[in-house]
Chain A
């Protein structure tokens, strides 16, 4: 740098450029000390410099341009050639995946299509001829007795009541493994929840005898202390469809994540903002092990259960870490209880409780804590109350990570319990399991 005279403004630029000598630097600091206007401009220039750096980091090559270059040269586009933004900004997330998801129409169309599917499934379920909140018919009672057919005349009501009496003994079935993954835009999950489906008796007294005389003269005896662990390997599939970012402006980058809000998208202040809202629609279906069998001295019981669940959450980000939501859920069970009476008659009783519940969901995902760049743990609690005096409690804890801004992976452990009344007692559906889900990110 020339040693000639430089006006303070140029000294400032020279200093920021790193091209002035120590003598000029001293002169600059001296001037800064007595010239507030220069100090202000100095700060502004530093601000502009950092802004330009940030801007440069956001100028990323579209994937289509990369593909076009390699195509023109007759080469396959290698993944390794995806350029890295320079300099990498702190929360830079632009990747080659951007262009893949560039068409908002396609993205929202896909999401909407999936939502329609879910809605149809829901409607089909609601259209079930059982119709009511809790249904059971006499025709459901069938005999599978190999030796004798069940020959009885059972009043429907009485049948229901008595059969439900079996539930009164407190069957608690674990292992249906319908863990709820309601995160992300479209989630798929596999679960393989196993063992320990525990059927416990918790009757009202030792050796209580529940008379099922009205039901095929069966007599079943349970011992309160008896507990059975039955192998119940449940396998199933899960589909959770979310409609994220309700109200997000069309064409803008909405908030991608697996069931979460991107912290950087929200200011620390509490302000109503459409981008804070996110709607999730989830469908979860599964079938538990068909037979978890309990044998007693004079009776046998087996139980199988299927469950379908559709729930809708409207989540709102309170701040960078916390979000709160309202939820509506619709659950339908297909329950089959089988009893073998002392005459070796096998009695089968089916009921299909339908439960609608509303609840609140709280979610915590610390914005400042990340395991890696885009990986963070989260915890979620959901409480609900619904028809047939149902109570729902669900806790989830997991880790979600973002890959290429396109796919989110979510691994979580879920534990939920839905307690509901049925004629004659309360039943409990305990669902727990590990889920591995994925979702696409919406931009």
Chain B
């Protein structure tokens, strides 16, 4: 797995790549090279190039990090929150994930799949956190998210959150990655280091379990739009 995440040749910070990158973020202006410090330019870059920028340091790295954060923070936060079921802990793990991610890039760690790498960091931190903390969380300790929605929808979302929390970790994780974030099974396998058939089975069983838990409320869930 690590090999798959560490295909160094794809994002190694070479001089040629730096030059190529500089042509994207730096534009000539009447003979002078003028920096175009517009984050929108970074939005045009793929993950690999942005990750390369992190190693460059300075404002370039900041803009690149901001762009990557913008792309993936939502998913990582959702993953942490759903896996841990506790807002404060999820916040901590979420922050540590991005800090660790950035530091890895600065240290020259090469990455082929940036979101996959982020999920792996988040996953490891979540697992560590769960291992180090108590195993069970009482129901009244569950911290419901502050959903921005109508009152009716909020209640349904809390119900859904509770139902997901009731799933076993491996089922919950597979469900999140597949059904909430729409990953394909190959991507999921890369993150979880499990086989595709096993993951598929988990997703299907997770949905079956979820249906059982939510059966009294399924008609109401159809209003969740």
Contacts and interface: CB of A to CB of B under 8 A. Distances in A.
Contact of B200 (A19, A53, A56, A70): A19
A98 B77 CA distance: 15
Interface in B86-116: 91, 94-95, 98-99, 102
A304 interface: no
A253 B77 contact: no
A81 B66 contact: yes
B180 interface: yes
Given A48-B221, A72-B95, A93-B148, A58 B211 contact: no
Contacts of A60: 74, 77, 148
A66 B98 CA distance: 10
Contacts of B77: 59-61, 65, 83
A69 B148 contact: no
Given A17-B200, A58-B157, A90-B225, A69 B99 contact: yes
A275 B102 contact: no
Interface stretch (A39-47, A212-220, A365-373, A418-426): A39-47
Contacts of A87: 182
B120 interface: no
A21 interface: no
B109 to A, nearest CB: 16
Nearest to B161: A55
A386 interface: no
Contact of B69 (A55, A58, A81, A249): A81
Contact of A80 (B39, B82, B94, B148): B39
Interface string A60-86: 111011101110110110101111111
B149 interface: yes
B195 to A, nearest CB: 13
A102 B146 CA distance: 9
A51 B150 contact: no
A78 B66 contact: yes
Interface string A338-356: 0000000000000000000
Contact of A252 (B71, B95, B151, B208): B151
B81 to A, nearest CB: 6
Nearest to A49: B179
B18 interface: no
A76 B65 CA distance: 11
B97 to A, nearest CB: 9
Contacts of A333: none
Nearest to A40: B218
Contacts of A53: 179-180
Contacts of B148: 58, 60, 92-94, 98, 253, 405, 443
Contact of B151 (A70, A82, A90, A265): A265
B74 A78 contact: no
Interface residues of B, number: 60
Contacts of A75: 62, 65-66
A73 B91 contact: no
Which residue, of A17, A59, A252, has the highest number of chain B Cβ atoms within 10 A?
A59
Contacts of A120: none
Contacts of B73: 61, 66, 69, 81, 83
A54 interface: yes
Contact of B102 (A9, A58, A73, A249): A73
B78 interface: yes
Contacts of B204: 10, 13, 17
Given A51-B224, A56-B78, A265-B151, A78 B203 contact: no
Contacts of A61: 73-74, 77, 94
Contacts of B75: 86
B179 A52 contact: yes
A152 interface: no
A147 interface: no
Contacts of A81: 66-67, 69-70, 73
Contact of A72 (B99, B147, B152, B185): B99
Nearest to B99: A72
Which residue of B66, B147, B160 has the most chain A CB atoms within 10 A of its CB atom?
A: B66
B6 to A, nearest CB: 23
A264 interface: yes
Contacts of A64: 91
B147 A58 contact: yes
Interface in A233-273: 249, 252-253, 262, 264-267
A209 interface: no
B116 to A, nearest CB: 16
Nearest to A248: B151
B154 A252 contact: yes
Nearest to A19: B200
A159 to B, nearest CB: 60
Contacts of B69: 66, 69-70, 81, 83
B198 interface: no
Interface string B184-225: 010000000000000010011001101100110010011011
13 contacts: A45-B211, A48-B211, A52-B180, A54-B224, A59-B78, A65-B77, A66-B69, A73-B65, A73-B99, A83-B73, A86-B74, A86-B75, A264-B150
Q: Which 7 A-B pairs have the closest CB atoms?
A: A59-B78, A56-B180, A94-B148, A81-B66, A13-B204, A83-B74, A83-B73
Given A54-B225, A89-B225, A94-B147, 4 more contacts: A47-B221, A51-B221, A69-B99, A86-B75
